Amino acid sequence: EPEVTQTPSHQVTQMGQEVILRCVPISNHLYFYWYRQILGQKVEFLVSFYNNEISEKSEIFDDQFSVERPDGSNFTLKIRSTKLEDSAMYFCASRDQGDGGYTFGSGTRLTVV
Amino acid sequence: DAKTTQPPSMDCAEGRAANLPCNHSTISGNEYVYWYRQIHSQGPQYIIHGLKNNETNEMASLIITEDRKSSTLILPHATLRDTAVYYCIVRPRATGSARQLTFGSGTQLTVLP
């Protein structure tokens, strides 16, 4: 069964450093998403991406965040200057053009120290 | 998107059917009901979705009431591996749009041996 692949599975970074979280969505999917989940809290929407541009973003997705689909297969989330409160699981998801389910990756655990 | 209400937790004996309820009394005609689950901080996993007819797949059955104000997810023979948080999410038709899913708190299902 096709999968959404995320790397790395765990990243530790110092406060103020830049991080890039990587995702390979399912190859024929058209819509791409980033979500995050702070430990013990709800899964929160960050951003959606379609046709090489951001479709929607939440209040969490401020100027410190950016997304890119550099080569037609990877989908990346960059955090420019990490804060302690950015520590969370970050999930990438993708879906095709219908109303079917979204496929989520297994996540990257980001720890900011 | 319509709001959903789920019990915070439920137990089920292994091998028995697990019936997870969801209220969505403000659902509108073009909104689908989706069910996802999350096993211990893994990425959310799509289970099933429906508009107004009952649906069944290899994982579960979805029963939607005739007035569409509530639904029940049925896991016919629960196993220990079905222990997870189950999310009921209502979302409008999204064909042609990148509309995201909004996760609530879900129901923690614990399958007991």
> Least CA distance to A33: which residue of chain B?
B100
Model confidence at B1, pLDDT cuts 50, 70, 90, reads low
Report B:15-74 residues touching A (Cβ under 8 A): 32, 34, 36, 38, 41-47, 49
Average pLDDT for chain B: 93
| Predicted pLDDT of residue B82 | 97
| B85-97 pLDDT per residue, tens | 999 999 887 766 7
Q: For residue B101, which residues of chain A lie inside 8 Å, CB to CB? A: 45, 102
| Predicted pLDDT of residue A2 | 85
| B53-76 pLDDT per residue, tens | 899 999 999 999 999 999 999 999
Cβ pair B109, B83 in contact under 8 A: yes
Q: For residue A100, which residues of chain B lie inside 8 Å, CB to CB? A: 46, 49
Other CB atoms within a 10 A radius of the CB of residue B84 amount to 21
| Predicted pLDDT of residue B2 | 67
The closest CB to that of A45, out of B36, B100, B105, belongs to B100
Average pLDDT for chain A: 94
Query: CA-to-CA distance for B106 and B17, rounded, in angstroms?
Result: 18
